[in-house]
Amino acid sequence: MLLDSGSQRNFITEEMVQTLRLKRDKIKHVMSRIGEIEQHASSAVGLKIKSRVSDYAVFLPMIVVSKITGQLPPQNTKHTQHKIGRASCRE
């Protein structure tokens, strides 16, 4: 599942839709990716996400895709620690 508050759409994999037994809606949607590759989507789902520690909840429409990312490189990345006032942030 990909939730990106800066994005125009949210995506969920076919596998996750089946695992959660979500009800699908039929759509016709074409997505363009880098390199002008097109991917077609034929279904969407609605997903309600709730906080475990508060009353906050949000309903998100999600486009069902077979795969969200391509092959990721099998290597570790370095993590660096940053101090911002009293808080710390890890990249």
Give tens-digit pLDDT for 24-73: 999 988 877 656 677 778 899 998 889 989 999 999 899 998 877 666 66
Give the integer Cα–Cα distance in Å for 51 and 91: 24
- Residue 30, CB-side half-sphere exposure with 13 Å CA sphere: 4
- pLDDT band, very low/low/confident/very high, at 91 (cuts 50, 70, 90): very low
19-39 burial: b if 16+ Cβ within 10 Å, else e: eeebeeeeeeeeeeeeeeeee
pLDDT of the residue at 72: 62
pTM given for the model: 0.62
Question: In terms of Cα–Cα distance, which of 18, 25, 15 is closest to 62?
Answer: 25
Give the integer Cα–Cα distance in Å for 1 and 76: 22
